Amino acid sequence: MSSDGEKIAPASERGSTIKRLPRFTCIFAAVTVVGWIGGDLLTYPLPEAANWLGLIGWIGAIIAMPWLVVCAFLPKPRSAPLLLATLVIIQTVRMIDAQLDGGLIGVGFRIHASPIEQYIAKCHMFDFVDNGEKHAIGFCETTVFEMGFPSTPASLSIIYDPTGGFLKPEAQRSPEWKQALDRFKEYSGAWGPPEVRRRFGDFYLVLFAN
């Protein structure tokens, strides 16, 4: 028996917390998270879909932040837990991308490039000899786009480099490796110093001005 004044909440009321979450916020949170993750994961397997998903994810994240601030001033901010969880998931994904080799984009690239042997076979290889040993770097694929304002043409290229030359400081890169990279620049029409991000293994995403 309960004491005077004590009220026991009905079971249906105690278990209705999830049901009380605003449906619109649930849909918004799900779409934002799927957009953010899908935009990275599908960058190479489905680039057009990745562009749209990435845009949706960014817009959702931008909206979620001021929305969460507004919830702090409401008496019953039922949307706040979902918005906070959405932003935490997005930040976690960003941390994973920063720590892992290529992050979710790298995972998507592995799917895109599988089987690896067949993918490498399609790359345009540039041979060179360094310390008496034959090596090669490969130009696998590229995407040309406009960058900056005023816009200038640039390219993002996937380069296969089993020598690890991109990981070395500029002073430690051999002249032969640099000559092979210059031959790639002539082949692709790129110029200027590259900006490099490792995708996974011996594959690198390289940004050049065109």
pLDDT of 80-128, one tens digit each?
999 999 999 999 888 877 776 677 888 888 888 889 999 999 999 988 8
Mark whether 153 and 201 lie in a shared domain: yes
Q: Which residue type, as a one-letter code, is found at position 14?
A: R
Q: Which residue type, as a one-letter code, is found at position 57?
A: G
Domain boundary among 84, 109, 134: 109
- pTM for the complete prediction? 0.69
Q: Specify the DSSP class assigned to residue 163.
A: T
pLDDT at 148 over 60: no
Asked, for residue 14, whether it belongs to a domain, the answer is no
Asked, for residue 94, whether it belongs to a domain, the answer is yes
d(CA 108, CA 126): 26
Mark whether 147 and 89 lie in a shared domain: no
pLDDT of 7-53, one tens digit each?
444 544 444 444 566 889 999 999 999 999 998 888 888 888 988 99
Residue 158, Cβ neighbours under 10 Å: how many?
A: 21
Q: What domain count does the chain have?
A: 2
Asked, for residue 8, whether it belongs to a domain, the answer is no
Nearest to 40 by CA among 80, 95, 83, 84: 95
For residue 56, what are the domain limits?
19-109
Contact 127, 136 (CB under 8 A): yes
pLDDT of 174-183, one tens digit each?
889 988 888 8
Mark whether 143 and 105 lie in a shared domain: no
pLDDT at 200 over 70: yes
